Structure 1
Amino acid sequence: MEDTVVPKPPRAHRPRVLKRATIIVSATNSEITCTVRNMHAEGAELKIDEYAALPGSFLLYVPTDGTAYSCELRWRQRQRVGVRFHGTLPKPKWHYG
């Protein structure tokens, strides 16, 4: 009997972008500025301050898109953060951006 190797499906293409964004922590409406480095339908990679504390879930507002993304923190390596999107919301009314 031969061992069957099942190939992994290819990773989704992640177009590079350079967008200013704001992480909004819902409990306190605190804001953390960040940069979106790449983005696709299911998530994004962000660049944030290395020492910024992030919760497990938060709102990511991208002014150029006019959209807020409901995010789940998936991984972190110093300044790089990977998030998964769980839907979109309109621009927060109280946000100045």
Structure 2
Amino acid sequence: MKDASDESTAREHRQRVLKGATIIIDLSKSEISCTIRNQHSNGAELRVPLGVEIPTEFTLYVPTDGVAYYSKVRWRRGERVGVQFTGSGPKPKHHYG
């Protein structure tokens, strides 16, 4: 089911990138390494190893950007995961990357 915001996000230019990132599940330092394959102002496509479970909402820390993106899973196909950014913040204090 798509709404108007889904369609505008799908039409937005997605810049191809290859960035290392970390999915931070909670403040107890539970982390999953992933790769960003393309990114735009409202979201990104991540590559996450098959079989790795991720929650529907999490913080995505991107060291090269120095930003933590609050993210919501929009779709998943195999190892590809599409996320929508719902906000951003500074580097998490407990993350050393």
TM-score by length of structure 1 reads 0.87
Do 2:29 and 2:94's aligned partners in 1 also have CA atoms closer than 8 Å?
A: no
CA distance in 1, matches of 2:27, 2:74: 20
Where do 5+ consecutive residues of structure 1 fail to align?
1-7
Give the letter aligned to residue 21 of structure 1: A
CA apart distance, 1:54:
0.7
CA distance in 2, matches of 1:30, 1:42: 24
Alignment correspondent of 1:5: none
Larger radius of gyration: 1
Alignment correspondent of 1:76: 76
Give the letter aligned to residue 95 of structure 1: H
Aligned residues: 90
Query: Which structure carries more helix by proportion?
Result: 2
TM-score by length of structure 2 reads 0.87
Query: What is the Cα-based RMSD across aligned positions, in Å?
Result: 1.5
Any runs of at least 4 consecutive aligned residues in structure 1 with deviations exceeding 2 A, and if so which?
A: none
Give the letter aligned to residue 82 of structure 1: G
Q: Identity over aligned residues, as a percent?
A: 56
